[in-house]
Each structure stands twice: as C-alpha cells, then as structure tokens.
C-alpha cells in the first residue's frame, strides 16, 4: 500500500510535464474532419454529390469532374477513387458523377440536360444552358477553383485517327497551363510502349465545354483527360488517376 501511495505522489509531481499530442492531419479522426460531402443542384432531379477534401493548409483548389458523359465509365470510376485521396495542402474537390442520371442510364446525355459538356458559357456574357450546368458553374465560382480536370473517353487513338480525341490531354492555354499538360502526358506515356498509342497535348477544348469555359472566362488552368476505349476499362481508369496524381504532385499537394 505504501509503495502504491509513493507511486501516485511521484506521478502527480511529474504529470504537469507530460503533454498529450494534439490531433494532427493524417489521423483517421482528423481526415474525417477535413472531408465533407455536399450536394450540387440540391432539390432537383439532377442532384449529385460534391466531395470536398481540405488539407487545412493554404494552397491551390483543384476540381476533378467525372461522369459528364454517362457512357464514359473510366472517368466516373476514376473520380470515385480520387474522392478518397488526401492532400497535404490546398483543397481537392471531386464530382464523380456530374450527370448522375446519364451515368445511371449509361448514356451520353440525360433528359432535360442534353450534352452537358456543351452547356457552359460560350461568351463572357453567356450563362449555362440548363440547371445542372448552372449548378456546376456556380460551384466552380464559389470555391474559386484554380485547376479543373475533366475526365473523358475517346473512341480511337488520336495519333492514329486525328478526328478522335482518345489519348489526349486537352488544355485551355492560360499562362502555365501547358507545363502541367506536358507533365501529365509524360507521366502517362512512361507506361505506353507503342508510339502511336501514346498521349499528346491538344490546345483548346470545344466551345461550351466546362474546361473551355472555366479556362476562358474564369481564368482556371483547365484540362480534359481523354483515355481511349480501345484499351481495357482498368487501364483507362489508370490513365485518369495517373494524370490527377501527377497534377497533385506537381502542385505539391501530395
């Protein structure tokens, strides 16, 4: 009993010198606190999820979009993987299924939306064409997105069939945008042995595309990553995740 009392007294004397470590980024609880799920186009039939991953450290805001076209599964399946990424600085935003109804139907478009990737402003005074495009456009503005990466698929290899956009990184030429486009292409091509099946950069997305409009009118560094459907689904998903990981590392976010 005496020994027990002595131990308690000694511990009491030194206890003030012992400090508990504060919760830091990287622990499960901290990661959960820095992740949230919001709803875009809430209250409409087009409602879809936006995943917000905050690092707690100042840095770029990067948005990744999948499922703009519902018949391009590599894009939205990759985005579902990307939404679970962590970042050490800045903020990562992920919309895995931008056109959720089209994704569910496995179709390019959805009733009431048309081609979502032609529905964004075509001039500086223009407005998005439909409620879903308006909601996505407003989200880009609300979060002051710096980098936007839209995940898509083409039917054929662009270097073999120039009319198809498979295996390209399409970018809007704001200052510094091409440097990252080149970096993403280089990272992806490191695993492609056939030259005519490799990725290449292409300047200027089509008018009305999310990447074109955000680059031209909001000043984003905007990209479209186009995998090729001639490759397996898992390979295509890997092309997209490689591009996004390369971008995050380039920005010192991972």
Residues 181-225: tens digit of each pLDDT: 999 999 999 999 999 999 999 999 999 999 999 999 999 999 999
Tokens 């069939």 label which residue? Answer: 161
- Please give the tally of structural domains in the chain: 1
Q: Residue 5: inside a domain, yes or no?
A: no
Cα–Cα distance measured from residue 67 to residue 243, given in angstroms and rounded to the nearest whole number: 17
Q: Where are the beta strands (DSSP E) in 172-220?
A: 200-203
Instruction: Give pTM, 2 decimals.
Output: 0.87
- For strands 91-95 and 61-65, give the pairing: parallel
**pLDDT confidence of residue 207:** 96
Structure tokens belonging to residue 102 = 């089209």
d(CA 101, CA 136): 15
Residue partners of 163: CB distance under 8 A and separation at least 6: none
* Structure confidence by residue, pLDDT tens digits, 29-63: 444 559 999 999 999 999 999 999 999 999 999 99
Q: According to the model, what pLDDT value does residue 113 have? A: 87
Note whether residue 1 is domain-resident. no
Domain membership flag for residue 12: no
Q: How far is CA 234 from the centre of its chain?
A: 18
Asked if residue 44 belongs to a domain, the reply is yes
- 240, containing H or E segment: helix 233-250
Domain that residue 239 falls in: 35-250
pLDDT score at 69: 97
CATH, residue 108: 3.40.630.10
pLDDT band at 74; cut points 50, 70, 90:
very high
212 in a domain, yes or no?
yes
CB proximity list for 104: less than 8 A, separation 6 or greater: 70
Residue 132 placed within a domain: yes
The answer to whether residue 188 is domain-embedded is yes
Q: Is residue 77 part of a domain?
A: yes
- d(CA 134, CA 146) in angstroms, rounded, equals 18
Coil, strand or helix: which one is 53? strand
Whether residue 7 is predicted with pLDDT greater than 70 in this model: the reply is no
Residue 57: Cβ within 10 Å count: 12
């Amino acid at each position: 009993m005496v020994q027990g009392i002595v131990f308690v007294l000694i511990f009491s004397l030194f206890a003030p010198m012992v400090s508990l470590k504060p919760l830091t980024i990287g622990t499960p609880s901290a990661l959960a606190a820095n992740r949230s799920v919001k709803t875009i186009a809430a209250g409409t039939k087009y409602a879809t999820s936006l995943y917000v991953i905050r690092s707690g450290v100042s840095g770029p805001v990067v948005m990744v979009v999948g499922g703009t076209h519902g018949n391009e599964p590599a894009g939205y399946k990759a985005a579902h993987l990307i939404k679970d990424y962590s970042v050490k600085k800045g903020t990562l935003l992920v919309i895995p299924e931008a056109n959720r109804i089209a994704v569910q139907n496995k179709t390019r478009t959805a009733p009431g939306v048309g081609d979502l990737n032609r529905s964004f402003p075509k001039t500086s005074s223009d407005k998005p064409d439909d409620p879903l495009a308006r909601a996505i456009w407003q989200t880009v503005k609300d979060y002051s997105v710096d980098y936007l990466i839209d995940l898509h698929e083409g039917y054929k290899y662009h270097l073999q069939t120039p009319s198809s956009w498979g295996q390209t990184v399409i970018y809007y030429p704001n200052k510094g945008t091409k440097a990252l486009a080149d970096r993403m292409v280089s990272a992806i091509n490191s695993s492609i042995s056939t030259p005519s099946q490799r990725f290449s950069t292409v300047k200027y997305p089509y008018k009305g595309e999310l990447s074109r409009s955000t680059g031209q009118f909001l000043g984003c560094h905007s990209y479209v990553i186009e995998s090729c459907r001639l490759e397996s689904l898992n390979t295509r998903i890997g092309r997209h995740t490689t591009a996004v990981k390369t971008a995050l590392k380039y920005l010192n976010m991972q």
